Structure 1
């Protein structure tokens, strides 16, 4: 990578982050000032101090992000902090923590870390349990340090892997949408006002590797990334290289496909909101109104209904069977269909959800709409 290519990576990152911060500002999480040129609006640095935070694992991607955001924060006078999550899974985890702390000290970046205990369960395997614990810890660190935006180092290859994984799982439009450039993940981060953003989403892994080499950026190698037992690693090391030989640049095309799916998903959500307004009766769904919709619109509405209540998305087969039972039961039937997270009940012409009883026998009240 020559100097011009490195400058292009930096310029693309800076433009992406400016756009992200402009949207955060428009949402009210940051205050902004009028732009004096054609650049996106940046938050007013004369207001109360704001912090940008990054999730810093010490690997290639987050190490490049650390150096890019450091230059950005110095140029535009943002406070910056880097957060590292120690999972305790790898025997090298202590060394990684020490490496990250040393790199931040060298750049004069505020650093903090959390150690978490990762325990897999029947509901979540080790990889998913680590992900949930990591983001919960990152959200807690952002609250503690009053950071309004959390940046992650997801890039174009990550997006392509996500789309391929979802496709292989038979996911619908929502799954094929991949990762947004920014979003609020209140359940994952435990903070409804914290924005999570991915300013490197348009950059390829090869570009990041070249940038790291050009700028002599030190990073660690996580040995688990070579473990082919993990689906994402199997894709990364076997399937994607084969695709790259026959379809060079496929990652960018999959990223565009994800953008098309995101647009379609927004339309589906808008339709579901409209249908929910027509079918909702308090905390229940009116079966008579539901029957007026086409089957596709009913499924779309029910998926939105589940998602709006924080209930895990059921499989298509389960959803189809549930709908048959609820719609075809006799009018006087008091039907109950069990979901992993709740019960879906029918009483006369109404469908509603109730939580499962816990060990104390609480509570059977309907789950309220958010």
Structure 2
């Protein structure tokens, strides 16, 4: 048993927290943040983010290799939210760090829950920052809590890896956690060494929240019986991460093995894989398409249905994030997309029109596309398919139903209802993916109009959900 004098001696023998954190930051940023890069800190005003920002200010002053800024998300959920924003503003002014404060409206009745909704909005703000890197202050204790939380919810190998130290965001700065290997006790000592003050979120001490319960009730008891448990669990997380990487490499190898000439997974070859490998490959496909990790029950049911699909038939397996389609012996994984307009959208000469999340562009040309002279003075509108429409794209072939043309062009059934159709009065003029009706084709040298269906970029990935902060 170590007495109080022994404890003080042990504490004095430790390297300063300032030195530990500066070394951790320098090592982490050295291989990532290039000179003149823009580094933004997600700054709540709490102890951890304040220590990160304070240490980065000191690092920048001794080695000014990057531009430093901060962003504070004002959720408005606490009565103290305005005071927190004011504290952050004052601190950043003293440090000479530009601060952006963004207010968000968190839906209180959301099915995902208040915490998850706030987290989603917060990370949407982070993804929109004008920076190259977005730094968050998660540390080793946060990582351990995340691992325990996910394991208790039945996570697999990927979930048990915890939070990544670095990950990309769709169209935004890369998210980094430079203090992820630093113990929480070092963060606390750093704040003490520099006599820092910070804001306290009153909800952090409420053990009714599961994560707080793990932090305040479970982990202290584990540490009493298993000293060094946090480091051991963090090490286990690194082992899980290595195993997850190997599983992903196996999935990519299996994908090459079962891929068809068109680049999709062949259903017959997929079903010839062993159940664990098929399950692993399907998880990888879902993750790549931006799905959240599926439950074991849903995944098993999906595999059962795919195993019974005949080559010439089609099937659809739905989830909250999208759908899995089997079509013409191939597997298609599709994220959920915004609906296209239900009614007609009039065209009055605009250069482009919205079509759900996509857009339709109209480009004047010569000798191609639709003969503009035939459109003069007519009522022009875009609609989605209703059924029974006919088109004659090729003047050498007869008029056919869209259903027949879609089948010949191998347009999948789930795409057909989303395709825009252009009408001139009661005549169908153009169909995305099929082309212009021969009666409206522009002759050489005549003014024409080219239509193009511009698809939106895929929605942000859900496969790696923003981690709590």
TM class by smaller structure: 0.7 to 0.9
Shift, 1:336, TM fit: 1.9
Residue 258 of structure 1: aligned partner: 237
State yes or no: 1:159 paired with 2:143. Answer: yes
The structure with the largest strand share of the pair is: 2
For the Cα contact (< 8 Å) 2:69–2:98, is it kept in 1? yes
Distance 1:106-1:140 versus aligned 2 partners, 3 A rule: same
Distance in 2 (CA, whole Å) between partners of 1:289 and 1:20 is: 43
Picking from 250, 253, 273, the partner of 1:293 is: 273
Residue deviations 1:190-229 (CA, integer Å, cap 9, x gap): 41xx222212112222221122122100101100112223
Secondary structure of 2:332's counterpart equals strand
Q: TM-score, normalised by structure 1?
A: 0.84
Q: Which residue of 2 aligns with 1:128?
A: 116
Residue 304 of structure 1 corresponds to which residue in structure 2?
A: 284
Aligned to 2:341: 360
* Aligned partners of 2:286 and 2:333 also within 8 Å: no
Aligned pair 1:232/2:211, yes or no? Answer: yes
1:20 alignment counterpart: 28
Q: Look up the match of 2:322.
A: 342
The Cα of 1:5 is off from its aligned counterpart by 4.2
Does 2:39 align with 1:55?
no
Aligned residues: 339
Structure 1 pair 259–224 and aligned structure 2 pair: CA distance change class (3 A): same
TM-score w.r.t. length of structure 2: 0.67
Q: CA RMSD in A?
A: 2.5
Of the structure 1 ranges 354-363 and 81-90, higher mean CA displacement relative to structure 2 is found in: 354-363
Cα distance 1:343–1:234, how it changes in 2: closer, same or farther (>3 A)? same
Structure 1 or 2: larger helix share?
A: 1
Q: Secondary structure at the residue paired with 2:128?
A: helix
**Gap change, CA 1:244 and 1:152, over 3 Å in 2:** same
5 Å-filtered alignment, 1:213-252, equals 213-252=192-231
Q: Measured at CA, do residues 197 and 235 of structure 1 come closer, stay the same or move farther in structure 2, by a change above 3 Å? A: same
Residue-by-residue CA offset, 1:63-96 (whole Å, 9 max, x unaligned): 1112111100111113211211111000000000
Q: What are the ranges of 5 or more consecutive residues in structure 2 without an aligned counterpart?
A: 1-7, 343-355, 357-383, 385-413, 417-454, 462-469
Q: Which moved more, 1:277-286 or 1:107-116?
A: 277-286
CA distance in 2 between counterparts of 1:308 and 1:114 reads 30
CA separation of 1:357 and 1:301: change in aligned 2, threshold 3 A: same
Equivalent position of 1:35 in the other structure: none
**Correspondence 1:106 to 2:101:** no
Q: Residues of 2 paired with 1:4 and 1:215: CA distance?
A: 18
Task: Report the alpha carbon displacement of residue 3 of structure 1 after superposing the two structures with TM.
Answer: 7.8
Looking at CA atoms only, which structure, 1 or 2, has the larger radius of gyration?
Answer: 2
